[in-house]
Structures are given as structure tokens and as C-alpha cells.
């Protein structure tokens, strides 16, 4: 099935793009998709997004179809997963 991923904040910079489509297995969880992306984009991306236990860090908001959710959520075809790492000022 097809999953759309949208990157915000630092995740956009580390992925080098704002969004993309991913072909994923049926009933995949959001966290499993994040693991696939972490392998694809390497250490800096992985460190930003995943904890040492391989779970989405709590400094990042995750939404599916613009609803904030937790990484255990099972995804459906054409779902849009978005990552919003905490931002600050300066």
C-alpha cells in the first residue's frame, strides 16, 4: 500500500525533501515506517527521530492525516504520516 510522508523542521533538512511516497506492507505501524526511513536517511535522521529503543522520540509530534497520534498506530492505504520535531526560537 501507499503511504505519504511529510517532513517538517529538522526532519525535512535531514531527509533532504518535504515529502515522499513509500510503498509499505499492509497494516504497517507508523513506527515501522519510521524505522524504514531511519535506515534510508542514516544516523543523523535516526538519532533525531528514534530513541535507543527504536521508538519515536517524545520530542517529535507525529500525525496521521493531520491527527496527532502515537507511533503504534496502524496505517492504511494512502495515509499521510507527518513528523514535527520540536522547534524553538533565536
**23 or 88, CB closer to another protein?**
88
Q: How many CA atoms, within 13 angstroms, populate the side-chain half-sphere of residue 59?
A: 12
| Spatial CA neighbour of 83 closest among 23, 4, 5 | 5
CB 56 within 8 A of CB 72: no
Site string for another protein, 6-45 (x = CB under 8 A): --xxx-xx----x-------------------------x-
Contacting positions for another protein (CB under 8 A)? 8-10, 12-13, 18, 44, 47-48, 57-61, 63, 66-68, 84-90
Amino acid at each position: 500500500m501507499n503511504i505519504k510522508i511529510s517532513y517538517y523542521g529538522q526532519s525535512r533538512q535531514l531527509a533532504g525533501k518535504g515529502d515522499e511516497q513509500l510503498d509499505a506492507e499492509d497494516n504497517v505501524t507508523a513506527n515501522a515506517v519510521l524505522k524504514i526511513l531511519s535506515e534510508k536517511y542514516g544516523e543523523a535522521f535516526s538519532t533525531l527521530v528514534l530513541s535507543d529503543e527504536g521508538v519515536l522520540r517524545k520530542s517529535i509530534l507525529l500525525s496521521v492525516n493531520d491527527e496527532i497520534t502515537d507511533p503504534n498506530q496502524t496505517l492504511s492505504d494512502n495515509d499521510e504520516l507527518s513528523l514535527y520535531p520540536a522547534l524553538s526560537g533565536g
